[in-house]
């Protein structure tokens, strides 16, 4: 019941935030952050629960549409719990980012924000694939409204591009899900959308490969990976700050989670054959998007391309499919969630203050906003993989595991670490050093981070330091899950047969 409570908290909290606008324009943000803090506290209680014999920390299994094999089946293990806590924490950060930015229709804004997060929690816990697709759609539509209504100058174009990419790829996944249910009916006599049932479906041959690609394209579009990435820079540059925090910190992780939980375990043979292609796309994403980042003058577009580059390490680790690589992928997901969210929050804060994202118009901010400058330097150094911080642990483990699977693509991907160092420090030089344009910004609009903003940035800093200095606390939670997936796919690749 605890999983249903979490989802209900955010659905109901969203409705209350929308209604609260009728009484006070400031009340919706209070309702939103209260709902998320309560949800976060409930999630933390899951850390004290022991897993059952199947490895699940919490489960909810109700019949829904039994004649079609559809159930209301939610479950969480160590991997899910890590991502749930990240979701609620960054949800609080997103509300903090929107605190002084959203003044138009705030009730509807926080309604969409909380419903997006409710959909994400459903994605991380649904083990009926029909229910999984339902939550996949729930988290997309509110995000479309967040970009289209509260975005910037080209918001309609960016929102429509986001919707088309994610909706078309989502329909491919729906077709693949229906095919899996049909194959279960053919092989076992009854249709089923249940995860454990579909794991036993034989999916070898061309049909298995095509069905696997339906999942792969949907998840790598959301991740995103080259060549399905072009929606992300537009969405990030046009989204309000809170939207960018949710996109970079949480929504991209749903794609990575889908690869780990569904794409590879359901199709072990097809994934094994496809792994070199997936790892090649990951290496291309890392290097290509790092290079494209240098050509950007819009600071949010630059951070968006670096985000695609860093998420390439996740794809690389997933398709290396060994314990070190998978642990690296999970740690990268968590660390990138914090560092990318913080960088977008900084970029959004700058835009809110000086009304531009154009880096050539910036410069010399270090002496004017010292707290913002130090925070920006910390998260830039974190993003480039500084030892002692969470990003380093994730990318190091991903490369270490990928090296055992494919030396060539690992070597190419490692070039991304060099490029990350260059573009991260280049942004610091461009924005915070050099000459200060006093005539532009000497009217008080360039203010430093306030106490509320510093509080949330410090919390994210502490999270990255904790991941970097004591990663075992995170690795211990995900280790049983990943080892179970590795054992299961090893058995399936050995025993799988044709239809």
Per-residue model confidence as pLDDT tens digits over 254-264 = 999 999 999 99
Residue 406 lies in a domain: yes
Provide CB contacts within 8 A for 193, sequence distance 6+: 68, 69, 70, 71, 128, 129, 130, 131, 177, 180, 181
Residue 372 lies in a domain: yes
pTM comes to: 0.93
Q: b/e for 416-448, b at 16 or more Cβ within 10 A? A: bbebbbebbeebbebbbeeebeeeebeeeebee
Reference 107, options 136, 156, 158, 149; nearest CA is: 149
Is omega for the bond preceding 224 within 30 degrees of 0, making it cis? yes
Sign of CA dihedral 105, 107, 109, 111: negative
Domains in the chain, number: 1
Residue 23 lies in a domain: no
Q: Which residues constitute the domain of residue 395?
A: 273-492
List C-alpha distances in Å: 65 to 131, 136, 182: 11, 19, 16
Average pLDDT over residues 298-325: 92
pLDDT confidence of residue 210: 93
Asked whether residue 496 carries a pLDDT value surpassing 60, the answer given is no
Asked whether residue 297 carries a pLDDT value surpassing 90, the answer given is no
Average pLDDT over residues 403-414: 92
Alpha helices in 46-154 (DSSP H): 78-98, 106-125, 129-150
Residue 417 lies in a domain: yes
From CA 132, how far away is CA 376, in angstroms rounded? 37
Q: Tokens representing 127?
A: 């083990």
Residue 36 phi/psi, 5-degree rounding, is -70, -40
Residue 405 lies in a domain: yes
Per-residue model confidence as pLDDT tens digits over 159-184 = 999 999 999 999 999 999 999 999 99
Average pLDDT of every residue of the chain:
90
Residue 79 lies in a domain: no
Tokens 């004290």, located at residue: 48
Asked whether residue 362 carries a pLDDT value surpassing 90, the answer given is no
Residue 361 lies in a domain: yes
Tokens 């025993």, located at residue: 495
pLDDT confidence of residue 442: 58
pLDDT confidence of residue 295: 84
From CA 76, how far away is CA 261, in angstroms rounded? 12
Asked if 347 and 417 touch (Cβ cutoff 8 Å), the reply is no
From CA 75, how far away is CA 4, in angstroms rounded? 10
Residue 222 lies in a domain: no
From CA 196, how far away is CA 204, in angstroms rounded? 18
From CA 213, how far away is CA 267, in angstroms rounded? 10
Confidence of residue 95 (pLDDT cuts 50, 70, 90): very high
Q: For residues 155 and 497, which has the higher predicted lDDT (pLDDT)? A: 155
Asked whether residue 498 carries a pLDDT value surpassing 50, the answer given is no
Asked whether residue 492 carries a pLDDT value surpassing 60, the answer given is no
Per-residue model confidence as pLDDT tens digits over 435-460 = 776 666 655 578 888 898 999 999 99
């Amino acid at each position: 019941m605890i999983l249903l409570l979490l989802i209900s908290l955010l659905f109901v909290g969203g409705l209350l935030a929308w209604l609260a606008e009728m009484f006070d324009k400031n009340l919706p943000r209070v309702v939103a952050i209260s709902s998320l803090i309560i949800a976060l506290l409930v999630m933390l209680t899951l850390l004290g629960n022991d897993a059952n014999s199947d490895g699940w920390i919490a489960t909810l299994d109700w019949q829904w549409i039994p004649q079609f094999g559809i159930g209301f089946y939610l479950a969480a293990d160590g991997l899910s719990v890590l991502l749930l806590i990240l979701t609620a924490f960054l949800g609080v950060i997103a509300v903090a980012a929107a605190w002084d930015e959203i003044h138009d229709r705030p009730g509807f804004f926080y309604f969409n924000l909380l419903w997006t997060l409710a959909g994400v929690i459903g994605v991380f816990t649904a083990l009926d694939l029909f229910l999984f697709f339902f939550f996949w759609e729930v988290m997309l539509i509110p995000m479309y409204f967040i970009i289209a209504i509260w975005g910037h100058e080209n918001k309609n174009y960016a929102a429509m591009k986001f919707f088309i990419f994610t909706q078309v790829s989502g329909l491919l996944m729906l077709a693949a899900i229906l095919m899996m249910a049909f194959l279960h009916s053919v092989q076992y006599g009854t249709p089923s959308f249940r995860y454990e049932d579909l794991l036993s479906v034989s999916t070898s041959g061309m049909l298995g490969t095509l069905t696997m690609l339906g999942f792969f394209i949907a998840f790598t579009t959301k991740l995103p990976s080259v060549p399905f990435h072009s929606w992300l820079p537009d969405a990030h540059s046009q989204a309000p700050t809170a939207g960018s925090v949710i996109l970079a910190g949480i929504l991209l992780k749903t794609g990575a989670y889908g690869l780990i939980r569904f794409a590879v375990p359901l199709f072990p043979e097809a994934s094994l054959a496809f792994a070199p292609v997936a790892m090649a796309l990951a290496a291309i994403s890392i290097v290509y998007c790092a290079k494209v980042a240098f050509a950007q003058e819009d600071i949010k577009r630059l951070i968006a391309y670096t985000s695609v580059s860093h998420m390439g390490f996740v794809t690389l680790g997933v398709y290396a499919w060994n314990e070190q690589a998978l642990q690296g992928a999970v740690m990268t997901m968590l660390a990138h969630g914090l560092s990318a969210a913080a960088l977008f929050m900084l970029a959004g804060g700058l835009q809110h203050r000086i009304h531009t994202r154009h880096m050539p118009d910036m410069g010399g901010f270090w002496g004017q906003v010292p707290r913002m400058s130090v925070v920006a330097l910390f998260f830039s150094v974190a993003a480039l993989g500084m030892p002692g911080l969470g990003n380093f642990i994730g990318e190091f483990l991903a490369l270490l595991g990928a090296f055992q699977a494919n030396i060539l693509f690992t070597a190419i991907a490692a070039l991304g670490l060099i490029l990350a160092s260059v573009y991260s420090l280049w942004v610091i030089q461009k924005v915070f050093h050099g000459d200060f344009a006093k005539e532009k910004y000497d009217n008080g609009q360039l203010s430093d981070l306030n106490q509320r903003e510093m509080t949330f940035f410090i919390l994210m800093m502490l999270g990255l330091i904790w991941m970097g200095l004591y990663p075992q606390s995170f690795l211990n939670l995900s280790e049983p899950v990943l080892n179970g997936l590795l054992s299961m796919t090893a058995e399936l690749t050995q025993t799988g047969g044709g239809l």
